[in-house]
Amino acid sequence: MKTLVMEPMPDLFWEEIRKKGWNSYFTESVTLNDKIKIIIIRTKTDFNKNRFVEFPNLKMIIRAGSGFDNIDIIEANKRNVIVCNTPEANTFSAYEQTLSFIFALIKQHQICKDRVIKGNWEKKFMPNWEISDLKVLIVGVGRVGTRVAHALQYLGAQVKGVDPYLSISDWKQKNIESIIYKEGIKWSNLLTFHCPLTDKTENYFDEKVLNTLKNSIWLVNTSRGKVVNESVVEKGILNEDIIGFASDVFSEEPWKVKKFANNLNVILSPHVGAYTKKAKIRMSLETLEAWSGYVNQHQINNKVDSRFY
């Protein structure tokens, strides 16, 4: 099946294709639109309704990465186009990015560095927190969220999770206590987001949530930027409802820097949570596993869950 690769892929991806003798299946040219049956994209391609019109015989889209909010899933379902992703590829790197954010926030790494440089040392310094001080609400208890939960449980934090797609047996198997979002917000002092971006999760952290808080919180987002309303974050930091904020994702990328970014309690990174050598290797191999499964074994691997839409 003719396969169009619409974005740059790591060298390993192409090496594996050459090694397996699959070269004739793949193209990077868009001159054969009516012959294209499979398309591979990453983060920069917005696969909207117009894109589907361009490729009338499309059977499958493979999103090399875990997110899929740049694909119109509803349109794909209408056209019987299968959408798959590579959910394991970024799991470890995103989980580690989240933990590094949490430690940096509660140990006040940026503030401490600033103190050393300016010679302020311990003057009016808020004591650091320990992990056992945390009551963590994990919003989205999938592959990444589950690993974050287990790591923090092991280190002594109290942990609860929000995920409407998990059954009672799922929660029992994960050994994570379930709670509804509204109650979890009231209970927690750290929120960390690991849910996909959908019409239900856009602005999931909004002004209503901010006003529901019973405790000042640490806030972490390594899911998608639009899950957390940035204007509300700014307000929360100003009124000290949010003690500190860490994010690897933004409402628009590249991001137009907002004032709150200069706050020492704010830690930002340019969507590099999955930017590791091993994550790139896993992404390449998992993409080809999904492709080969469909083309050679007539099976579907890692189909995106349509319950999100």
Which band of pLDDT confidence, cut at 50, 70 and 90, is reported for residue 30? confident
Which band of pLDDT confidence, cut at 50, 70 and 90, is reported for residue 302? very high
Give the pair of three-digit tokens for residue 106.
Answer: 């509660």
Taking the domains of the chain in order of start, what are their residue ranges?
Answer: 3-89+276-308, 91-268
Q: Is the pLDDT of residue 122 over 90?
A: no
Other beta carbons less than 10 A from residue 137's beta carbon? 25
> What is residue 298's three-state secondary structure?
coil
Give the pair of three-digit tokens for residue 103.
Answer: 């430690």
Common-topology check for domains 3-89+276-308 and 91-268: yes
Looking at the chain, the whole-number percentage of residues with pLDDT higher than 70 is 99
pLDDT digits (tens, 9 = 90+) for 227-250: 999 999 999 999 999 999 999 999
Is 1.10.274.10 the CATH classification of the domain at 3-89+276-308?
no
User: Long-range contacts of range 51-55, CB-CB < 8 Å, 24 or more positions apart?
Assistant: 52/76, 52/79, 52/81, 54/30, 55/4
Cβ density class 189-208: b for 16+ within 10 Å, e for less? bbbbbbbbbbeebebbbeee
Mean pLDDT of the chain: 94
pLDDT digits (tens, 9 = 90+) for 32-75: 788 999 999 998 999 999 999 999 999 999 999 888 889 999 99
CA distances to 86, 130, 181, 189, 240 from 133, in Å: 35, 5, 21, 9, 18
Q: Is the pLDDT of residue 272 over 80?
A: yes
Position 121 scores a pLDDT of 81
Position 309 scores a pLDDT of 58
Q: Tokens 């398309």 map to which residue?
A: 39
Strands, E assignment, 42-91:
60-63, 82-85
pLDDT digits (tens, 9 = 90+) for 248-263: 999 999 999 999 999 9
Residue 290 CA to residue 286 CA, distance in Å, equals 6
Which residues are 270's β-sheet partners?
A: none
Overall average pLDDT of the 142-153 stretch: 97
Residues 6+ apart with CB under 8 A from 50: none
Position 308 scores a pLDDT of 65
Indicate the CATH number for domain 91-268: 3.40.50.720
At residue 86, φ and ψ (nearest 5 deg) are -120, 75
Residue 61 CA to residue 69 CA, distance in Å, equals 13
